[in-house]
Chain A
Amino acid sequence: MVGVSEILNTVQMGLAYMVIALPLTLSYRVTQVINFVHIIFITLGAYTVALLGLVGLTNVWIAMGAAFLLGGALAVLDNVAVFEPLWRRGSDVLIIMVASLGLWIFYKYLIYAVLDKLFIVLRTNTLSVLVHTEGFPSVSLGGITIDGYLIDTVVASVIVSLALYLILMRTRIGKAIRAIADNQVLAEISGIPRGRVLNFMWFLSGGIAAVGGVLWALFQTTVTPEIGDQIILQVFSIAVIGGLYSLTKTAIGAFIVSGTENIVIAVLHDAFGLPLSFRPFLVFLVLLVVILIWPPLGAGGGLPYRFRVRHRSRR
């Protein structure tokens, strides 16, 4: 049955998805590279909040700040060490994308190895950690308890999205980012310090994604090394719904996907007995439908090819 909990889950999940997917769209739009290290930013954010909690720093907001700095730093490091040199050498964007894949795999297992050692020190034999943090207290409203984490999530996502919007639309560096998104080479010729602006953009992108990781951890309540990998399907589907281009559509996509995963599946389960295991199918279906009906042509390159011929007549 679709009840309050489904709706609350949709909101909390959707907000976390949104904060995670927005920077993915942003960095793709500016560089035409899908950054797979994004999944690491999520993991990084999630472990920041969990590990800070373990050592007694239980404030969510401190965790989010720390995650932002860590994620941003990692993103800038990648850009300086790998992406930028490849771009300078004239590598295809596809090649840069694959390099980000390599980084993703490397970081992922580095994290595994580090955590293994860490848990020997911390005397836990498992890689998963419970999130014990404090933010807003829970609120009771007419018999419905609204979890404190939900309020944290709402406030944090609003702040992050608003800040992102203001930076992109109202500041000089935001204007420079948009100019680079339109045409990297042209922007550089017209005197925009491309390198610095891109570093800033990457910092923002990695940082926000890591904050998204914190929100995702709050929703999951336990953190495992796979926490980022678990939502590959969802995050990339959202990015495709946004056409890897529009931030607004990405935000909408986040709620479409979380709604599909919570409400649509529940309705179909009740009405037609659809097993809950079909959840990923539905998400993928949303992705396919979007690609078929609103193909994001232009943004990600693409062919001037149409499946339906509009009219074909002979004289």
Chain B
Amino acid sequence: MESIIGFLISWLPIFAIYGILSISLNLEIGYTGMANFGKVAFYAIGAYLSAALTISVMLSLVGKNVPLYSIEAVQALSTEGTGALYTHPAALVGLFVLSLVLAFLVAGAVGYLITYPTLRVGPAFLGITVLAFGEMFRVFMRNYEPLGSTKGLFGLNNPFVWLGNSLLSQGLFALVALGLLLAVYVYAERFVNSPLGRTLRAIKDDEVAALCLGKHVPRVKATVFFIASGMAGVAGVLWTFYQGSVQPDTFVPILTFYVWAMVILGGMGNNLGALLGAAVFTLVDRALTFAAGMMGPSLIIPPNYLRWMIVGLVIVLVLMFRPEGIKPARPIKTPAWEAVKEEVGKDG
């Protein structure tokens, strides 16, 4: 029992993070046909924003004027009992919530600005531009001293750490993360099962024809990008508070493709599939780590490498042999259906 709870506490937040990421990617690629090869950029923006914001505000609350990445900062924040995280619980929770909101808006706005000009130049360019943007962000952070360069920022913890009981605080955090995932899922489902969802499908099929039917294709696409990037920003905030730290090299390009693998395996154009994909991959990851722990160095390929090789192979094999994924794309559901039934029934 205890081990199950322990497992859930550590797995649920990760599942929530990747679930949000894969739903957001699914909005882009599965529904609108936009290849985002730089999802990680918006995830990173959320993570860095929340870490920088929370640490700097917490430090100023306790009157410490030290660099955010310094040992003094870490001590001032997280010394059990006397650190700022323990002495200012309301501020910590408030900053967590504020981070979620800000990360959504900032990551979303950046997504909108970056992609609006590129949206008219074909899928390959969009993908590359965003990929390049993500790399730029990571390389910049590696070299940006005020936010800790390669070492990143440390000293945070989950927003309920002041409760003292780690099982309780982590459990609470897992529930909050799950709640956010649920909210994102419900929102995405409602978003696509609407006239707008129909337009998105049309854009995916043939954006030129959609443009000729009066749809403002660049704006619609940029809007979807705003929402999806905002969601990725929210996932980034969860990551910061789950991990308690951020490092630039977490946000390498392959993380984006990890999410791609989830969406491809789950089924492009199906939100439930995206969730399923996220669950499968995060569980496989757990299993590999567990197996590695059991077998030790006798494992031929280290689990971290094996995990990524599986990711790559799954992408290739699913595309080749079951391109629709586990759950094929679902038709758009709007009340039009019922209205049609009434109308058809009227005069036989």
Contacts and interface: CB of A to CB of B under 8 A. Distances in A.
Tell me, yes or no, whether A and B come into direct contact in the complex with CB atoms closer than 8 A: yes
Contact of A116 (B118, B129, B302): B302
B316 interface: yes
B315 A102 contact: yes
A42 to B, nearest CB: 14
Interface stretch (B99-107, B192-200, B277-285, B303-311): B303-311
Given A28-B124, A287-B132, A288-B117, A98 B260 contact: yes
B217 interface: yes
A230 to B, nearest CB: 9
A43 B139 CA distance: 19
A102 B124 contact: no
B314 interface: yes
Interface stretch (B6-14, B60-68, B162-170, B251-259): B251-259
B291 to A, nearest CB: 16
A276 B139 CA distance: 11
Contact of B121 (A105, A280, A291): A291
A297 B121 contact: yes
Contacts of A302: 120-122, 125
B71 interface: no
Interface string B48-82: 00000000000000000000000000000000000
A65 B262 CA distance: 39
A281 B123 contact: no
A98 B118 CA distance: 19
A57 to B, nearest CB: 28
Contacts of A105: 254, 257, 308-309, 311-312, 315
B143 interface: yes
Nearest to A300: B122
B208 interface: yes
Contacts of B218: 303, 305
B97 interface: no
A12 interface: no
B258 to A, nearest CB: 8
Contacts of B89: none
Contact of A109 (B217, B312, B316, B320): B312
B202 interface: no
A303 B210 CA distance: 10
A242 to B, nearest CB: 12
A295 B302 CA distance: 44
Contacts of A244: 124-125
Nearest to A232: B135
B95 interface: no
Contacts of B118: 291
A76 interface: no
Interface residues of A, number: 58
Contacts of A97: 35, 124, 127
Contact of B315 (A101, A279, A305): A101
A304 B211 contact: yes
A281 B121 CA distance: 21
Given A34-B127, A297-B120, A303 B207 contact: yes
B302 A233 contact: no
Interface residues of B, number: 52
Given A113-B301, A291-B121, A233 B315 contact: no
Interface in B182-235: 207-208, 211, 217-218
A296 B132 contact: no
A108 B121 contact: no
Contacts of A278: 140
Contacts of B238: none
Contacts of A275: 143
A98 B264 contact: yes
B309 A102 contact: no
Nearest to B143: A277
A102 B309 CA distance: 9
B120 A106 contact: no
B211 A240 contact: no
A95 B257 contact: no
Contacts of B217: 303, 305
Contacts of A145: none
Nearest to B318: A102
Interface string A88-128: 00010111011101111111111011001000000000000
Q: Which 5 A-B pairs have the closest CB atoms?
A: A102-B315, A106-B312, A277-B143, A301-B122, A300-B122
Interface of B: 33, 35, 37, 117-125, 127-129, 131-133, 135-136, 139-140, 143-145, 207-208, 211, 217-218, 252-254, 257, 260-261, 264, 301-302, 305-306, 308-309, 311-316, 319-320, 323
28 contacts: A32-B124, A82-B320, A95-B323, A101-B37, A101-B315, A102-B261, A103-B316, A104-B257, A104-B312, A105-B308, A105-B315, A106-B313, A108-B254, A110-B305, A113-B302, A113-B305, A113-B309, A229-B253, A237-B132, A239-B128, A240-B128, A240-B129, A279-B139, A279-B143, A280-B136, A296-B121, A301-B123, A303-B120
Interface of A: 28, 32, 34, 82, 85-86, 91, 93-95, 97-99, 101-110, 112-113, 116, 229, 232-233, 236-237, 239-240, 244, 275-281, 283-284, 287-288, 291-292, 295-297, 299-305, 307
